[in-house]
Amino acid sequence: MPLPSDPLRKLGFLTIGLFDGDSPGQGHESTLEIIGLGERLGFDSAWVRHRHLQYGISSPVAVLAAASQRTSRIELGTAVIPLGWENPLRLAEDLATVDILSGGRLNPGLSVGPPMHYDEVRDALYPDTAEAEDFTYDRMRRLLDFVRGKPATDFSGVKGFEVFSDRVQPHSPGLGRRLWYGGGSLRSARWAGEHGMNFLTSSVVKAEESEDFAEIQLSHIRAFRGSHPDGARARVSQGLVVIPTDSATPEQRAKYEEYALKRTPRTATPQGPARMMFAPDLVGTSEEIAERLYAHAAFREVDEVAFALPFTFDHDDYVQILTDIATGLGPRLGWQAAH
């Protein structure tokens, strides 16, 4: 089990990419600038959230295609694409295209299940097939097969002047090893491991065997690795909301503390019928946050993280938080900036 003397190997961050509905360009540009800043600060990865019918990134693959042309090194991920909104074959084409354009830096994070608020969106999303759509793990398996190069059809060859392939094109050979499952339950952790995916565990988990967040998350990590062909070497990335205040102004500190305080009550007990548990937001100096992380049982089980930036903050706040993570918190966790 890693101790403070064991270095954090990969440091990433996650942003939601909010925008003004009357002027969406500014918000998208801010997201691209933040990703560029992350590369300059030496972060290993930048991840974007996925939001439909909201004022957040609805097309992360398109945004990351743009980011791939503004950066050269940082890995680019989605956390996560809800596959219920997608056609697996078409998504496989888009993912492979962006992976090729980025030089093999794409890390797609995905999840299954019915789309959020499905009863309200089903007629717009699947007007003719709503009852027939499959939102189970089989939808994910189809995507995995397409990305990993298994045939999508029994037809290939030349027809007239056109040449056809029996598998998704372009094919990006390494992409199949960089697919991540965003899971919050033991079942999803085991499924991801059995199918050779990587595992994203966030600040939200399902209370199944405990009501202690760290214990729950630790059980998911171990269930995933226990089911994965790579065992203890299988990749897991932990995502918690982390807000260092080393260089923050007094006004920023007050804003951050108020934000965390409002969200704290939901961390005390399981929420809703699904019994979801939320991790507390970590606000404080880099030294204080490092101490809290090393006391976190699940953090001690991983060597890569993608810390989540809070919702609704301003661009300058994100610049300060990322800078403090890269220059203060990261080094305290043994991490070394990439060059």
5 lies in some domain = no
pLDDT for residue 3: 55
pLDDT for residue 6: 79
Q: What is the tally of structural domains in the chain?
A: 1
pLDDT for residue 339: 79
Q: For 231-264, what is the HEC assignment?
A: HHHCCEEECCEEEECCCCCHHHHHHHHHHHHHHH
In which residue ranges of the chain is pLDDT below 70? 1-5
pLDDT for residue 241: 98
312 lies in some domain = no
CATH number at residue 232: 3.20.20.30
- 166, 191, 242, 265, 312 from 17: Cα distances, Å: 37, 29, 17, 25, 9
pLDDT for residue 35: 98
327 lies in some domain = no
Query: Could you list the residue range(s) of the whole structural domain that residue 280 is in?
Result: 10-32+53-305
131 lies in some domain = yes
The whole-angstrom separation of Cα 293 and Cα 289 is: 6
333 lies in some domain = no
322 lies in some domain = no
319 lies in some domain = no
133 lies in some domain = yes
pLDDT for residue 30: 98
